Structure 1
Amino acid sequence: MKCTNCQGEWTAPANKSLSKCPFCQADMLQMLNEKAEVLSTDVILGNMLQAYGTVLLQNQQRLAAMISDLFAHDHKTKRLLLLSVRENIPTQLAALSTTDKNERYTHILDMQHRLADEAFLKEEIVQQMVKNWTTALGWEHEDADEPFEKDLHEGLNGFKNANGEMITQSKYNDAWPFSEGLSRVKLNGKFGYINQQGNETIPLIYTNASDFSEGIAIVGRNGKFGYLDIQGKEMIPLKYDMASDFKEGLARVRLNGKYGFFDKKGKLGIILKYEYAEDFNKGLSLVVFNGKRGYIDKRGNWVKDANDE
């Protein structure tokens, strides 16, 4: 533990953390509370971890009690942080503190995808919960180093690891950097994906493909487009004439001249009925319906007519 008043450091007895600094006798929690109302979330959490150490993240009951005290002035943030504790996010992150940043980065992405799928939480909520803690831990600017180097041999591409060992032979016409643990590769005009062991986890059967982003990739075959999840499952079937990236949680598709939008769970959130539609921007999409231009919200409600200018 470390006192934020005198900077004294000590090791608390097992399974305990002293409420007062043994050097200056300052009340630890009171010192944290005094400035809580004027400090940002990451600074408050960072001060808490500086005082009590990352071992606090493994004690859900005590951590929840401290959050309730420190964020009594900010009910919205308090609810979000308490939800993160219930979903075991701080404990999982504490277990990653001794891993290298590449492994940590991969585990954090996996954790985010799993929480979104299994806890039925919105991606944005999960990302914010994780970010609160990674920022407090000083990991906010960490990105994984590209652990593999492309190997070009006789015009064909493969990958070798940091030790110079080939993880896959140079056989692909093209290969892209790894994204979320997978590399997009192309052979004889067909796209697929390999993992970091060089295995083709998603077969090379697509004529179009994008890199994975937040566990989703756009793929195309025979002139039709859809979306894959990170396991290679078609979360949105390949039957659309056009498919765009997700923007603000929704992806624009077109079928038989009509536009609509899917959410990240593969649900058609806004039915295909528009003659034209643009990606969402600040919560609105410009559309044309029955020849009339206007803006809809993310529920498909007509918000306002568009100016002709």
Structure 2
Amino acid sequence: MNFLSRMPAWVGHQVAAIRVVIVLTVLVGLAYPLGMTALAQVPGLRHSAQGSQLTGADGRNAGSELIGQSFLDKDGNPIPYYFQTRPSNAGEGYDAAASAAGNLGPESTVDVLGPDGKQSLLTQVCARSKAVGDLEHVDGSRPYCTSDGVGAVLGVFRKDGTTGTATRVVSLDQACPARPFRSSYEGVTVVCAKPGGDYGRAVVTPIRGDAPADPKVPADAVTASASGLDPQISEAYADLQAPRVARERGISEADVHRLIDRYTSGRALGILGEPAVNAVQLNAALDRTHPVKGA
């Protein structure tokens, strides 16, 4: 008589369960991972499976083609012979372990002033636009931004709370002793904001100013991506930076534009999104083909 037939039913159930665990462990824990690993080594898939590694000018791994990098010096200033990428809110910038967005929306227009203050999204955009304009020697002005790179936002105190004549006006994002971007508003002298001041009763009033509706500095140069990791920039931002990079590397703009074209991807499926330039690949290619002496 078969030994198993003489076992209690519950023992048979346990043996069957153990068999299932062994079979699934072999299939799912060993065969499937090994099969997928082998498949990933097929030509055409191997590069992606290994993280789309980027090869630097010295032939060594220089990161991933899919994750952006900051091209800044030790003081946080842009290195002039590199194309600059987008701002990043991922950790200290392009930290793959801390992918994140800024979580600030269009209502974020008023700064928290003082030593422990926090910039609004508007001021971040204004400051970045001014910095890019200064770097590229173009007009960095934007609507609702002051000439010194903060939000052009007034806090208007009115006689009847939110209505009535203005009685007091404060430039909310310009900390004293800054000179307000407007001298007066509705006949009332505009004053700078005092850090820690209570302006909660003021009516927040953004001022458009006379900046062009189509700024010279593209939107992707002043806003971070949702992941904080995107290596791509717009064609417009790449074209804006091309003269500087060509000048710093001592090459022609035509040479730079040829590389830009090489690392520009089209719309997904031909219709989705916009063409984009992989700035990380582009900078690596520049280092390989047109290295900077002493860099």
Q: Which has the higher contact order (CA 8 A, sep 6+)?
A: 2
Query: TM-score when scaled to structure 1?
Result: 0.23
Q: Which has the larger radius of gyration?
A: 2
Task: Choose between structure 1 and 2: higher helix proportion.
Answer: 2
More strand by share: 1
